[in-house]
Structures are given as structure tokens and as C-alpha cells.
């Protein structure tokens, strides 16, 4: 980092927390001109941090300077395990005061994302957030407005639009190879996380944890949804999880969501925490066709999960067998979102992952809950720049 010396020198004179905060907010500006590494701070050092931290460490443009968890022993353990050499903290306020950084990476319980992302933006930090960005669309949109006012970047998972298979399906659709598209289906389920209760608590559920991937893929390919109808249920009312023992399940663990897109296209997502799947989170050998898209001249089926896929089967002939296409994963991995967006700040480029897309998916989830509650079809108001790849 070209300005490391000056920052160290500055810190020698600024022991007070207030001065550290001032430095931290000023440094967002420094990044654009003098710094060639983005300093990131990870909040939430649980399961998914085991994927994020090593991926961030592969980037020459990113340095992890802070690790934070309300279970502080987890931040300390990850610091040692991955030899990060970061400062560790027990809460976001301490971290914002305690270490200068440019971008926060939010990997906590889903329900905490919105408040933490807001605090980070208010402190002048860019944000990459695991899904969802916030607990509802209005709160998410307020975050984006805040980010724009402060000239900061905000992005949300998932990163599915970055896969070569998404790119292939997008191209196939845009070239009209399937004819007039009518219907699509996405599905993602397993028997549910065993480690944390938040997945099953209010505002958790299989939609923001699992269905969100299919929603991002299908809206990314077919365009924004105009309206949503859904049925949600709780199949398994009690669970035993590592952090809280026996708990009551309060959020849907079984969901079917219908989305209406432009041109009378209808897509369907099903997701749940009660789906037997011997692959669970290990998707490498998964053969399921988890995304299927049908037109009147052809269809295509994505193999494996949309977040870790093994290719796309394309069927466009009455006589020839279906073909396996886009079997090469390239460098894409599902945990790359923070790295890719962080690097885009340093390079001054625009990543394909788009925050309005993440917000639109959040509105779909909220609309599905409203539809279940009222028995009605819910009109959506949000949209995003589409197509994502021209
Ligand atoms: N585990 C996975 O394989 C996986 C994959 C993709 C996405 N995700 C997403 O990542 C997020 C985290 O999931 P996870 O499985 O790692 O959960 P986890 O329970 O293993 O980890 C969450 C961590 O956040 C900490 N935390 C909670 N509130 C906090 C706060 N206010 N400040 C600081 N730390 C706080 C918890 O103590 C815990 O260590 C969720 O949004 C989840 O949907 C998880």
C-alpha cells in the first residue's frame, strides 16, 4: 500500500477513538487516489466465513484488516486459523472505532444485516452483505439511498450471475434459441442448517437463505418480476440446533413462489429445509437440474445448483440428443462476491452483480410473505437494469 507509512505515522499521533473514526472516514477518499489495496473488515465469523476469508486472501487487491463477532472467540479463532493478522473485535462499534477500513463484509445472522449495513454506511464504509441486505425492501432501499448520498458502494449476495453457466443461459435466451419463452422453474433445498437458530426464527426461512439463489437466477435471466403469488408453510415446527438447543420454527421452511415476468412468462421457485438431498452443501457432484427454462423451440436445464453448477443441458432438436454446454466453471465460485465487488472499487470498474437486483429479489421475498398472509397476488414496484449481460 503506497500510503501505509503515512497512515501508520498518523495513527501514532491519534490514539483517541474519535480521531480513528475521522481517519477511517477520510480514508475512503484516499483509496481512489493513492491506495492500491482495499482494506476490508469481516463481521460475522461463523460457518460462511470459512469460505469468504480464504477467497478474499487470494486477492492481491484486498487486505483483511478487521474480524468481528459478538462471540469474540470466533473472530480470534478465524484470525489464527487463516493467519489473517487482522485486529479482532466483539461488536461493530468497536470495530469502526478500532481499525481504519474501506469496506465491511457482513456475514452475520440474516436478521442483523440491515442494522449493521446501515451503521457501516453511516461510518463511511462500502458494504458487501450476505443475503438479505435488510429485513424488508423499504429498509434495503433506504440503505441504497444512504449509500448513494454518501457516494459509497453497496452490494448484496448472491453472486450467481457471475457463473459461466448464467452467462451461457443468458446468451442462449438473448439469441432466441429457445423460441418464445413461456415457463421456468428453480429449486433449492436440503434438510436445513443444524448450527444456528436464526435460519428458523422470524425473518429467517428458506426463502432468504435458499430460494434467493433461484430468484436471482430467474429474474436475472427472464427480467424483473411484475407480480408474485406464493404459498409458504412450516412443515417441521420444532428443530434442535447447536446454538440454542430445541427451538420453535417461526419462518417458512417450505415455499412455492410464482413470479410473473414481462411477455407473459411465468417462473416458479420451490425451496425448503425439508428436502432430502444427499449432497447437502457439497454441490460438486450434484446432478439435479435445478433450473429449467422452456420455450417453444427448445429448453435448457442447469445441472447442479445455480450457485455451483456443472453445466447446462440444451435441447433444441427433435432428432438430435440434448447437448451438454458450458461445463467449464472457469474461476467462478459462489463465495466470490465480496472479492469481485471489492476489487471493482480498486479498479474503478462496474461489477455485474447489481444492488438493485438484490433489492428486487428482497421485494419478491417480502411479496411472497404478503401473498401467503393475504391469499392475494402481490404487485411489485421495484426493478433493476436488465439484461444484466447485453
Ligand atoms: N453457511 C453457509 O454455507 C452459507 C452459505 C452462503 C450464505 N450464507 C449466509 O451467510 C450468513 C451467515 O451464515 P452462517 O451459516 O455463517 O451463520 P453462523 O451462525 O455460522 O455465523 C454467523 C455469525 O455471526 C455472528 N453474529 C451475529 N450477530 C452479530 C452481530 N450483530 N455482530 C457481529 N457478529 C454477529 C454470530 O455470532 C455467528 O458467529 C447468512 O446470511 C447465511 O444465509 C451462509
Q: Are 274 and 256 in contact (CB under 8 A)?
A: no
* pLDDT surpasses 90 at 32: no
Q: Give me the pLDDT at residue 281, please.
A: 72
* Dihedral (Cα; 272, 277, 283, 287), 10-degree rounding: -110
List the CATH code of the domain at 160-332+350-379.
Answer: 3.30.360.10
Q: For a substitution probing ligand 1, which of 79, 96, 108, 159 has the most ligand atoms within 8 Å of its CB?
A: 108
CA of 327 to the centre of ligand 1 (A): 31
Share of the chain above pLDDT 70, in %: 91
Q: What is the C-alpha separation between 238 and 261, in angstroms, rounded?
A: 36
CA of 196 to the centre of ligand 1 (A): 8
Q: Which CATH superfamily is domain 4-156 in?
A: NAD(P)-binding Rossmann-like Domain (3.40.50.720)
Q: What is the C-alpha separation between 253 and 261, in angstroms, rounded?
A: 25
Among protein residues, the one whose CA lies closest to atom 38 of ligand 1:
46
The C-alpha cell at 355 is: 444492488
Q: What is the C-alpha separation between 86 and 387, in angstroms, rounded?
A: 39
Q: Across-strand partners of 299?
A: 294, 315
* pLDDT surpasses 80 at 227: yes
* pLDDT surpasses 60 at 322: yes
Q: For a substitution probing ligand 1, which of 45, 50, 109, 196 has the most ligand atoms within 8 Å of its CB?
A: 109
Q: Starting at the edge strand that comes first in sequence, how are the strands of the sheet with 323-325 ordered?
A: 323-325, 308-315, 299-305, 289-295, 181-189, 266-272, 254-260, 227-233, 378-379
Q: What is the C-alpha separation between 307 and 44, in angstroms, rounded?
A: 21
DSSP calls for 190-232: -S--SS-GGGTSTT-SHIIIIIHHHHHHHHHHH---SEEEEEE
Higher pLDDT, residue 36 or 21: 36
Q: How far is CA 166 from CA 14, 69, 281, 308, 325, in A?
A: 48, 34, 20, 11, 11
CA of 109 to the centre of ligand 1 (A): 4
Q: What is the C-alpha separation between 165 and 145, in angstroms, rounded?
A: 32
pLDDT digits (tens, 9 = 90+) for 324-377: 999 998 999 999 999 999 999 999 999 999 999 999 999 999 999 999 999 999
Helix%, strand%, coil% for the chain, nearest 5: 40, 25, 40
The C-alpha cell at 290 is: 435445478
Q: Give me the pLDDT at residue 286, please.
A: 82
CATH 3.30.360.10 residue ranges in the chain?
A: 160-332+350-379
Which residues line ligand 1 at a C-beta cut-off of 6 Å? 43-48, 68-71, 74, 91-92, 107-110, 112, 116, 130-131, 195-196, 209, 281
CA of 45 to the centre of ligand 1 (A): 7
Q: What is the mean pLDDT of residues 309-329?
A: 96
Of 156, 159, 170, residue with least CA distance to 302: 170
pLDDT digits (tens, 9 = 90+) for 184-202: 999 999 999 999 999 999 9
* pLDDT surpasses 60 at 15: no
* pLDDT surpasses 80 at 8: no
* pLDDT surpasses 80 at 62: yes
Q: Are 124 and 28 in contact (CB under 8 A)?
A: yes
The model's confidence at residue 35, banded by pLDDT at 50, 70 and 90, is: low
CATH 3.40.50.720 residue ranges in the chain?
A: 4-156
Question: What average pLDDT is seen over the chain?
Answer: 91
Q: Give me the pLDDT at residue 283, please.
A: 76
CA of 389 to the centre of ligand 1 (A): 30
* HSE of 123, CA atoms in CB hemisphere, 13 A: 29
Q: What is the mean pLDDT of residues 260-275?
A: 98
Q: ω before 234 within 30° of 0 (cis)?
A: no
Q: Give me the pLDDT at residue 253, please.
A: 98
SS3 332: coil
CA of 106 to the centre of ligand 1 (A): 8
Q: Across-strand partners of 129?
A: 106, 156
* pLDDT surpasses 70 at 54: yes
3-state secondary structure 227-254: EEEEEEECCCCEEEECCCEEEECCCCCE
The model's confidence at residue 10, banded by pLDDT at 50, 70 and 90, is: very low
Which helix (H) or strand (E) element contains residue 347?
Answer: helix 337-347
Q: Give me the pLDDT at residue 18, please.
A: 34
Find cell 426493478 and name the residue: 383
Q: Give me the pLDDT at residue 139, please.
A: 98
Amino acid at each position: 500500500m503506497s500510503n501505509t507509512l503515512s497512515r501508520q505515522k498518523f495513527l501514532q499521533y491519534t490514539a483517541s477513538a474519535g480521531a480513528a473514526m475521522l481517519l477511517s472516514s477520510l480514508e475512503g477518499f484516499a483509496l481512489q487516489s493513492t491506495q492500491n489495496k482495499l482494506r476490508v473488515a469481516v463481521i460475522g465469523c461463523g460457518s460462511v466465513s470459512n469460505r469468504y476469508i480464504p477467497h478474499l486472501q487470494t486477492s492481491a487487491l484486498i487486505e483483511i484488516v478487521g474480524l468481528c463477532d459478538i462471540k469474540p472467540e470466533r473472530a480470534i479463532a478465524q484470525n489464527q486459523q487463516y493467519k489473517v493478522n487482522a485486529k479482532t473485535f466483539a461488536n461493530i462499534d468497536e470495530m469502526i472505532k478500532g481499525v481504519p477500513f474501506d469496506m465491511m463484509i457482513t456475514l452475520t445472522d440474516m436478521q442483523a444485516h440491515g442494522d449493521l449495513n446501515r451503521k457501516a454506511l453511516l461510518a463511511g464504509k462500502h458494504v458487501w452483505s450476505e443475503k438479505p441486505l435488510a429485513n424488508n425492501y423499504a429498509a434495503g432501499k433506504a440503505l441504497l439511498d444512504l449509500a448513494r448520498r454518501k457516494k459509497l458502494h453497496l452490494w448484496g449476495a448472491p453472486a450467481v450471475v457471475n457463473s459461466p453457466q448464467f452467462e451461457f443461459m443468458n446468451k442462449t435466451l438473448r439469441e432466441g434459441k429457445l423460441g418464445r419463452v413461456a415457463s421456468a422453474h428453480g429449486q433449492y433445498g436440503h434438510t436445513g442448517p443444524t448450527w444456528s437458530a436464526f435460519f428458523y426464527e422470524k425473518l429467517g426461512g428458506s426463502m432468504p437463505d435458499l430460494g434467493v439463489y433461484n430468484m436471482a437466477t430467474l429474474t436475472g435471466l427472464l427480467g424483473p418480476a411484475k407480480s408474485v403469488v406464493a404459498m409458504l408453510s412450516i412443515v417441521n415446527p420444532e428443530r434442535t440446533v447447536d446454538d440454542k438447543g430445541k427451538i420453535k420454527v417461526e419462518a417458512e421452511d417450505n415455499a412455492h413462489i410464482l413470479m410473473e415476468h414481462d411477455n407473459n412468462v411465468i417462473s416458479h421457485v420451490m425451496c425448503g429445509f425439508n428436502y432430502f438431498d444427499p449432497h447437502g452443501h457439497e454441490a460438486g457432484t450434484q446432478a439435479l437440474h435445478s433450473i429449467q427454462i422452456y420455450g417453444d423451440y427448445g429448453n435448457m436445464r442447469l445441472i447442479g445448483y445455480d450457485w455451483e453448477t456443472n453445466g447446462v443441458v440444451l435441447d433444441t432438436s427433435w432428432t438430435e440428443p440434448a447437448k451438454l454446454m458450458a461445463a467449464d466453471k472457469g474461476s467462478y465460485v459462489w463465495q466470490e462476491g465480496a472479492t469481485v465487488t471489492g476489487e471493482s472499487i480498486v479498479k474503478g470498474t462496474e461489477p455485474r452483480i447489481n444492488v438493485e437486483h438484490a433489492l428486487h429479489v428482497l421485494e419478491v421475498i417480502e411479496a411472497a410473505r404478503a401473498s401467503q398472509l393475504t391469499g392475494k397476488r402481490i404487485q411489485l414496484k421495484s426493478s433493476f437494469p436488465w439484461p444484466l449481460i447485453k
